[in-house]
Amino acid sequence: MLQLDQVRITLGDFTLSANFTLQSGEKLALIGPSGAGKSTLLAAIAGFQPLTSGRILWRDQPLHSQPPAARPVSILFQDNNLFGHLTLAQNLGLGLRPTLRHSAAEQQQIDAALKRVGLAGMGARRPADLSGGQQSRAALARVLLQRRPVLLLDEPFAALGPALRADMLDLVAELTTEAAITLIMVTHAPEDARRLCPLCTLVAEGQAQPPVGTGALIDTPPAALRAYLGSPPAP
Amino acid sequence: MPTVRSLPEWPGWVAGLFLAVFLTLPMAAVLWHAGGGSAPQPADWAALRFTVLQALISAGVSVALAIPVARALSRRQFRGRALLLGLMGAPFILPVIVAILGLIAVFGRAGWLNQILATLSLPQLQIYGLHGVVLAHVFFNLPLATRMILQGWQAVPAERFRLAASLGMGRSMVFRIIEWPMLRGVAPGAFAVIFAICLSSFAVALVLGGGPRATTLELAIYQAFRFDFDLGRAAMLAGIQLALVALATALALRFGGVVHGLAGGQGRPPLRPEAAQPLLRLWDGALIGLVAAFLLAPLIAVVLRGAPALLALPWPVWKAALVSLSVALAATGLCMGLACALAITALRRTGLELLAIGGLALSPLVVGTGVFLLVNPWANPTALALPVTVVVNAVMALPFALRLILPRLRQIEASQGRLADSLGLQGVARLRWLLWPQLKPALGFAAGLAAALSMGDLGVIALFSDPQHATLPLQVLRLIGAYRTEAAAGAGLLLLMCSFGLFWLFDRGGRHAAA
């Protein structure tokens, strides 16, 4: 259970408050206008953004004063999720242990993770030799190896085309369901939220609203969300 | 890249031709004359060895010190950080002779450091010779190296450090995976640039070096010229210097973006959990404090020693200041004219940009020797001392000015050029309404740099000098040579105020007009 207890973040004249609880294995989308603080909220959970006040708890243990690596959290950013000068196998290996030397058993785990995301046998390649979709898959494979119970996605698939993005979302759905991973995803696209996340939170006007059902929220949007989504296309 | 020729290109070609003639003709005269000159003597080889040795040590020490300093700056946020980064840009426009005055006041025989050492009964430091030359070069180039390397750190996306933190990498892993690959790309460039800069060291070697064991090639040219009037030997030395600097500049261009260290570096550093330990914080703080003291102490010394003497300065010093101001303004005008003409033409002909970079390989004393050789049969070269200084200063500042103006011009033309074309904005209208309002900050900054560099330049003028046409840096040098310490300090402070004042006026003018 991930709990954001009266969380408040102040950056200059920007403030964001959040107060909600997410059960283990639930999948939550953060939706809302640019600059509303979606990424800031993820950064706070991952440990890159100190809280002004409030607490973040995982299974009733406070997280918010722990360093990023000690949190039960893995995160994928919009880009720069792989080190360009390392091979895929080395990049993935960093998810197991922060070193570049790995035992034969660990090597097998790396190969298995690559296979799981459809990149079997590509461990010796470098990120530059891969397509955008393959890079996303490799980053997801590393998340698998990290075995953290919470996964944060900060629009890592935003640069992919619609079909490829849908593929990636389905892959995320499979992987997180298999491992009972709790997911929080930032997105601009309501259809992405609908595809992957049963729960949805509107982040707008300095406030992260409590999670509600994604379909209901998007079908009957409150005023702030309606302003962001615009009028729906005629059927 | 604009497809329509919306601005005339002929001024750029005229500027390019002028530049090509000025860069090649004196060199040709030198080389032609050197062919008939003397063969290198042991003393000349010693000058070559010393030139290379001091440049290697200066560049090595600057880069080696800059790496931990840049690292400390890259991962710490503190009050005054922006101010310190601004201060690191100051040595670029600081007149060399003023810095030398300050360094002598701090590290010299009766300087602050030796006074402290004396009270502690510790042995005294010597500022003259190889280590004095290296000290002065490190003073000038440590900030440049730090800024270049700091930019390398800042070019690393913040996500990289976040990823490292979220994967639990310690400091040594962060170094291996993120920092070392970055440094391998950036540090050789910084080393090559500083090595090339230090090869042309003249004023530093003139005051702090000298003698058979600490003479650079530039200084040897000066001595062959002034003391022995051995033109053949001066030309031969100038030929060696020319080859050396051309080689080093080619290396610097190959390995490093040349003017990278000039601007930027003001962003907030990313959060670095792996570096949060208190001891490390203390270490970084001590490093940053030491560097700030090293940069500030000589400047403070110049101000403290110079202020009492400022109002009592003799008339020749004030006259020299007026001469220098005129030279600086003329050089700035010429430099900006050349830069603008070249920049507009270089939008379509990229080769022209390379020609302007040739100014980096320009050795003032080589050019001075060449001009003397060209003019001497026809006229009295001393009469040409100031015009030649103006042109040399303008050409030396040109690569920097162009590097500031051209990227901005490219950006404007790329983003709004087509719109301007479709609206028929051409010629003067395009300059007035499209380019001028948006280029003004870059133009002001470039003009400020050119003016300050010219104001503080002590190069070619030293060759032709006569008391009637002395510039302010030359006056300071003479006062130092005559052991008139107080007057030298006062004149040095005046020079410092003129250089920084010119830079401030132009830079502010550009930004103010834009707002």
Q: Percent of chain A having pLDDT more than 70?
A: 98
User: Is there a contact between B181 and A85 if contact means CB atoms under 8 Å apart?
Assistant: yes
Contact state of A98 with B157 under an 8 Å Cβ cutoff: no
Using the predicted structure, report yes or no on whether residue B69 has a pLDDT greater than 90.
yes
DSSP assignment letter at B314:
-
The DSSP-derived string for B412-459 is HHHHHHHHHHHTT--HHHIIIIIIHHHHHHHHHHHHHHHHHHHHH--S
**H-helix or E-strand containing B280?**
helix B278-310
User: Looking at residue B276, what is its pLDDT?
Assistant: 75
Residue with tokens 């530049």: B19
Cα A205 to chain center, whole Å?
22
- The burial of B29, by beta-carbon neighbours within 10 Å (0-12 exposed, 13-18 middle, 19 or more buried), is given as buried
The percentage of chain B sitting over the pLDDT mark of 90, rounded to a whole number, equals 37
Compute how many other C-beta atoms are within 10 angstroms of the C-beta atom of residue B11: 16
Of B160, B165, B177, the CB nearest to A69: B165
Between A132-146 and A162-178, two packed helices, what is the crossing angle to 10 degrees? 10
Query: How much is the average pLDDT of B215-234?
Result: 86
Provide the chain B residues 264-323 that lie in CB contact (below 8 A) with chain A.
271, 273, 276
Residue A39 sits at the chain B interface (C-beta within 8 Å): no
The closest of A67, A70, A51 to A5, measured between CA atoms, is A51
B131 Cβ contact partners less than 8 Å away, ≥ 6 residues apart: none
Locate A122 and state its tokens.
């590509």
How far apart are the C-alpha atoms of A8 and A18, rounded to whole Å? Answer: 7
pLDDT, position B513:
62
Give the pLDDT band (50/70/90) at residue B260.
Answer: very low
Residues of B in contact with A94 (CB under 8 A): 167, 169, 177
List residues bridging with A4 in a β-sheet.
Answer: A20, A56
Helix (H) or strand (E) holding A5: strand A2-11
DSSP B326-374: HHHHHHHHHHHHHHHHHHHHHTT-THHHHHHHGGGG--HHHHHHHHHHH
**Is pLDDT of B259 > 60?**
no
The label of the residue with tokens 């070269």 reads: B381
pLDDT at residue A100 is higher than 60: yes
**What average pLDDT does the segment B330-343 reach?**
95
Cα separation values, A218 from A212, A214, A231, B364, Å: 10, 6, 11, 71
Confidence check: pLDDT of B64 > 60: yes
Report whether CATH 1.10.3720.10 matches the domain B43-305: yes
Per-residue pLDDT at A233: 54
Q: Mean pLDDT across the stretch A19-46? A: 92
In the prediction, which pLDDT does B219 show? 92
User: How many Cβ pairs closer than 8 A exist between chain A and B?
Assistant: 61
- Tell whether A231 is within 8 A of chain B (Cβ): no
Residue B253 confidence class, pLDDT cut points 50, 70, 90 = confident
At B263 the pLDDT is 41
Which of B77, B156, B160, B163 should one mutate to test binding to chain A, selecting the residue with the greatest count of A CBs within 10 A? B163
pLDDT value of residue A102: 87
How many whole angstroms from its chain centre is CA B327? Answer: 18
> Over 60: is that where the pLDDT of B133 sits?
yes
Residue B265: pLDDT over 70: no
Residue with tokens 């983003």: B415
Would the CATH topology of B1-35+311-515 be identical to that of B43-305?
yes
Mean pLDDT across A121-131 = 91
Higher-confidence residue of B499 and B39: namely: B499
Which residues, at least 6 apart from A97, have a Cβ–Cβ distance to it below 8 Å? Answer: A106
Report yes or no: B81 and B150 within 8 Å, Cβ to Cβ. no
More confident residue, B243 or A28: A28
B178 contacts A80? CB cut-off 8 A: no
Q: What angle do CA A131, A133, A134 make, to 5 degrees?
A: 65
Instruction: Look up residue B424 and give its two tokens.
Output: 């028929």
Q: Chain B: residue nearest A74 by CA?
A: B166
Q: Which two tokens stand for residue B354?
A: 């390379």
Query: A67 CA to chain B: closest CA distance, Å?
Result: 7
pLDDT at position B511 is: 82
- Contacts of residue A145, Cβ cutoff 8 Å, sequence gap at least 6: A92, A93, A95, A96, A109, A110, A113
pLDDT value for A6: 94
Give me the mean pLDDT over the B293-312 stretch: 92
Phi and psi torsions of B223, nearest 5°: -70, -40
Helices (H), chain A: 38-46, 88-96, 104-116, 132-146, 162-178, 190-196, 214-219, 223-229
B167 vs A contacts (CB less than 8 Å):
69, 94-95, 98, 146
> Is A79 in the B-facing interface, judged by CB distances under 8 Å?
yes
Measure the CA dihedral B56/B57/B63/B65, to 10°. Answer: 180
What one-character DSSP code corresponds to residue B40?
Answer: P
**Cα→Cα distances A201→A111, A138, A211, A230, B182, Å:** 36, 28, 5, 17, 39
CATH superfamily, region B1-35+311-515? MetI-like (1.10.3720.10)
Q: Nearest CA to CA, how far is A119 from chain B (Å)? A: 22
B67 CB contacts (<8 Å, ≥6 apart)? Answer: B149, B183, B187
Q: What is the pLDDT of residues A61-94, one digit of tens each?
A: 998 888 888 889 999 988 888 888 889 999 999 8
The reported pLDDT for the residue numbered B230 is 82
Query: Are B161 and A46 spatial neighbours (Cβ–Cβ below 8 Å)?
Result: no
Cβ–Cβ of A46/B162 closer than 8 Å? yes
Element (H, E) at B223: helix B217-226
Report the gap between the CA of A114 and the closest CA in chain B (Å): 18
Confidence of residue B266 (pLDDT cuts 50, 70, 90): very low
> Are the C-beta atoms of A197 and A29 separated by less than 8 Å?
yes
Question: Are B128 and B208 contacting, i.e. CB atoms less than 8 angstroms apart?
Answer: yes
> What residues of B are in contact with residue A146 (Cβ under 8 Å)?
167
Task: Indicate if the pLDDT at residue B407 is higher than 80.
Answer: yes
Q: Is the pLDDT of residue B358 over 60?
A: yes
CB contact under 8 A, A77 and B163: yes
CB of B273 within 8 A of CB of B165? Answer: yes
**Taking phi first (over 0 means left), then psi (-120 to 50 degrees means alpha), and beta for anything else, what does residue A37 get?**
left
CB atoms within 10 A of CB A68: 22
Interface check for A127 against chain B (CB to CB < 8 A): the answer is no
Asked if the model's pLDDT at residue A114 lies above 90, the reply is yes
Q: Is the pLDDT score of B50 beyond 90? A: yes
Chain A residues in contact with B168 (beta carbon < 8 A): 69-70, 98
pLDDT for A135: 93
Query: Two tokens at B203?
Result: 């004023």
Q: Which amino acid is it at B467?
A: P
Q: Which residue has the higher pLDDT, A201 or B28?
A: A201
pLDDT, residue A58, reads 94
Q: Give the pLDDT confidence of B205-214 residue by residue, as tens digits.
A: 999 987 778 8
Are A95 and B167 an interchain contact pair (Cβ–Cβ within 8 Å)?
Answer: yes
Domain locations in chain B?
A: 1-35+311-515, 43-305
∠ CA B283-B84-B182, rounded to 5°: 65
Q: Which amino acid is at B281?
A: R
- Least Cα distance to B476 among B487, B464, B466 occurs for B487
CB contact, 8 Å: B160 with chain A?
yes
Query: Phi then psi for A201, rounded to 5 degrees?
Result: -125, 135
CB-based contact, A69 to chain B, within 8 Å? yes
Q: Each residue of B143-182: pLDDT tens digit?
A: 999 988 998 888 888 888 888 888 888 888 889 988 998 8
Residue-wise pLDDT tens digits, B338-348: 999 999 888 88
Mean pLDDT (chain B, rounded): 86
Scanning the structure block, which residue is given the tokens 């080619």? B250
The SS3 assignment for B472 reads: helix
Of A43, A69, A79, the CB nearest to B167: A69
Residue B393 contacts residue B457 (beta carbons within 8 Å): yes
Residue range A193-206, pLDDT digits in tens: 998 999 999 998 89
**In the numeric block, which tokens belong to residue A185?**
């995803």
* Residue B267, pLDDT above cutoff 80: no
- Give the closest of A43, A75, A80 to B157, CB-based: A80
Query: What does residue B68 show for φ and ψ, rounded to 5 degrees?
Result: -65, -35
Is B157's CB within 8 Å of A146's CB?
Answer: no
Alpha-carbon distance A228 to nearest alpha carbon in chain B (angstroms): 27
Average pLDDT over residues B340-362: 81
**pLDDT exceeds cutoff 90 at B55:** yes
Residue B166 pLDDT: 86
d(CA B451, CA B53): 31
